[in-house]
Amino acid sequence: MLLRLRYGRRLQTYLKIGACILVGLCYFAFLFRESLNAYEQNKERVATAENEAESGEYGAQSKQQLKLKRQQMQRQRLLKQQQQQQSSKLKNVTNVLATIVATPPTTLNPVYEYSEELHTCTERVLQQRRDHLAAVCERYKLQEQYPPNPWEFFVSPGHNLVWCNVFKAASSTWMYYFNILAGYDLKYLQRTETQPLELARKRFPRPELPELLELLPSALSFFFVRDPFERIVSAYRNKLEGNRNSFYKALGTKIVHKYRRHSLGGPWPRCGPTFEEFVRFLIAEHAEGKRFDEHWAPVYSFCTPCSVNFSIIGKVETFQRDSEFIIRQAGLESLLLGKLPQRKLRKIGNQARSGVKTEALVERYFSELERSTLDQLLKIYRIDFELFDYDFSKYYDMVHPWSVDLSTAPVPATVAVAGVIAAALTPTGAASNASQATVAAA
C-alpha cells in the first residue's frame, strides 16, 4: 500500500514538471516568432524609407496624386448615392401618382385637382338640376302643398351656410364637416363616442322659420339626394337589418309581429324584419297618414325644395365633385378640405361593415317584392324620383317575374306621374280615388 502511494506521488510530480517544461517551450517559441515578425517589418520600413529618400520630389508628387485620386473616388461615390436617392424618390412619386389615378374617387374625402374647366362643368350641371326641379315644382304646384320646414336644417351664420340634412344621403360626412365648423377639435371628434348629430345640434340648434327665411337669400344653401329606393334600402340595412339600435330593434319586432306571414311556419328569425315586410310597413304608415322616420322620409316632405330656393342640389353619385364645389364656393378650403381622418372613414361615412355598397344589393332586396307592392311603394317616393331626375323603371325588372301582369297595357308616363303625385298630395282617404282617376284617364 505504501509503495503504491509513493509511486503515485512520483508520477504526479513528473507530470507537473513535464507540463511546466512544455508551457515554457511554447512561450519561448511564441516570443521567437514575434521577434522574427518585428525584424521583417523593420526591414521593410527601412527599405521603403531608403526608396522614398532616393525618389525625393517624385515621391512627394506621387503622394499628392494618390490623395487626389482618393478625393475623386469619394466624390464619385457621393454622386452615385445622390443619384440613387433621387431615382428612388422619383419612383415613389410615380407609384403614388399611379395609385391615385388607378383608385376610384372616394365619396368621403373630396380632395382632388381643381380646375376652371371642372368648375364650369359642375356649375352647368348644378344649374340644370335646379331648372329641372323648378319645372317639376311648377308643373304640379308643389310649392303650395309643402311650405318651408326648418326642422332638419343646419344654419351657420358665421360661415353663411345653410344645409338641409337628408339622412342616408352622405349626411354623416357633412355632419362631420359641420362639427368642424362648430369649432370642435379634430382629435376630439375622432375619439368621442357622442353621436355627431348630438354634437352638431349643441352648436347649431334647430332654426326657427323666420330665421331660416331671413338668411336663405344671402347664404349658400344646399342639400344632397340619392336614388330614393337606394336610400330606403340603405336605411333598412343600417337601422333594421340586424337590430343594432334598441329603438329600431323594438320597431323591427313590431313590424315582424304585424306583417310576418304566419303561414311560413317555424320560429321568427332574430335578424329583424325582411325587406318586403319593411316595405309593407311603409305602405301602411303612409296610408294612415303617419309621419315617417327621418331616415326613410321622402325628401320633398321635410327639405321642401319647392318652397326653399336652394343654391346647390348635390347628389351622392357625384358627391366628391359637388362637395368640393360647395366648400370652394363658401371659401372653406382651409377648414374642410382634407380634414377627414383616414382611420375613421368607414365610421364617418356610415359604410356597411361588409364593405358591399348598397347599390350592388338593391336588386337582391327588390326581388322580394311583387309588382303590386312596388306600385304602392312608388306612390310614396315618385315625387322624389321626378324632382331629382332619377329613373324608377329599372325596378320593375327586379321584382318577381310572376307578379308582372303582361296583359296590362302600360300607362303613359305623364299621366302616371300626374296621378301618383296627385295621390301623394291628397289626404289619406282620397289616395284611392286619385289612383282610380289615373287608371280612368289612361
pLDDT digits over 159-170, tens only?
Answer: 999 999 999 998
Say what the pLDDT of residue 413 is. 44
Asked which of 84, 105, 126 is the last residue of a domain, the reply is: 105
One domain, residues 311 and 230:
yes
List strands edge to edge, sheet with 220-225.
Answer: 153-156, 161-164, 220-225, 312-315
How do residues 190-201 score in pLDDT, each as one tens digit?
Answer: 899 999 999 999
Exposed e or buried b for every residue in 143-169, given b needs 16+ CB within 10 A? bebbebbbebbbbbeebebbbbbbbbb
* Neighbouring-strand partners of residue 223: 164, 313
Q: If pLDDT is split at 50, 70 and 90, which confidence band does 283 have?
A: very high
Q: What is the DSSP string of 92-111?
A: HHHHHHHHHHHSPPPSSS--
* Neighbouring-strand partners of residue 153: 164
Would residue 377 count as lying in a domain?
yes
Domain range for 227 is 116-404
Exposed e or buried b for every residue in 270-301, given b needs 16+ CB within 10 A? eebbbbbbbbbbbbeebeeeeeeebbbbbbbb
**Which of 2-11, 27-36, 45-54, 113-122 is least confident?**
45-54
One domain, residues 150 and 97:
no
Contacts of 285 (CB under 8 A, 6+ apart): 292
CA 262 vs CA 257, 259, 271, 366, 413: distances in Å? 9, 9, 17, 22, 38
Would residue 71 count as lying in a domain?
no
| CB 391, CB 225: distance < 8 Å | no
How do residues 382-419 score in pLDDT, each as one tens digit?
Answer: 999 999 999 999 999 999 776 544 434 344 444 444 55
One domain, residues 220 and 247:
yes
| Residue owning grid cell 328569425 | 269
Residues 348 and 202: their CA atoms lie apart, in Å, by 19
Q: Is the pLDDT of residue 79 over 60?
A: yes
One domain, residues 97 and 128:
no
Say what the pLDDT of residue 346 is. 56
Q: Is the pLDDT of residue 145 over 80?
A: yes
One domain, residues 297 and 219:
yes
| CB 165, CB 154: distance < 8 Å | yes
Residues 27 and 32: their CA atoms lie apart, in Å, by 9
CA 63 vs CA 45, 53, 66, 428: distances in Å? 17, 14, 5, 107
Q: What is the DSSP string of 230-249?
A: HHHHHHHHHHTTT--SHHHH
Q: If pLDDT is split at 50, 70 and 90, which confidence band does 51 have?
A: low
One domain, residues 198 and 220:
yes
Contacts of 213 (CB under 8 A, 6+ apart): 148
More confident residue, 318 or 423: 318
Say what the pLDDT of residue 113 is. 58
One domain, residues 92 and 188:
no
Q: Is the pLDDT of residue 188 over 70?
A: yes
| CB 197, CB 163: distance < 8 Å | no
The pLDDT > 90 percentage for the chain reads 52
CA 140 to mean position of chain CA atoms: 37
| Domains: count for the chain | 2
Say what the pLDDT of residue 419 is. 52
Would residue 435 count as lying in a domain?
no
One domain, residues 213 and 325:
yes
Would residue 143 count as lying in a domain?
yes
Residues 421 and 318: their CA atoms lie apart, in Å, by 27
Would residue 379 count as lying in a domain?
yes
Would residue 7 count as lying in a domain?
no
How do residues 239-259 score in pLDDT, each as one tens digit?
Answer: 998 667 889 999 999 999 999
Q: Is the pLDDT of residue 236 over 80?
A: yes
One domain, residues 288 and 201:
yes
Would residue 203 count as lying in a domain?
yes
One domain, residues 101 and 209:
no
Supply the pTM of this predicted model: 0.67
More confident residue, 431 or 265: 265
Would residue 120 count as lying in a domain?
yes
One domain, residues 85 and 121:
no
One domain, residues 191 and 275:
yes
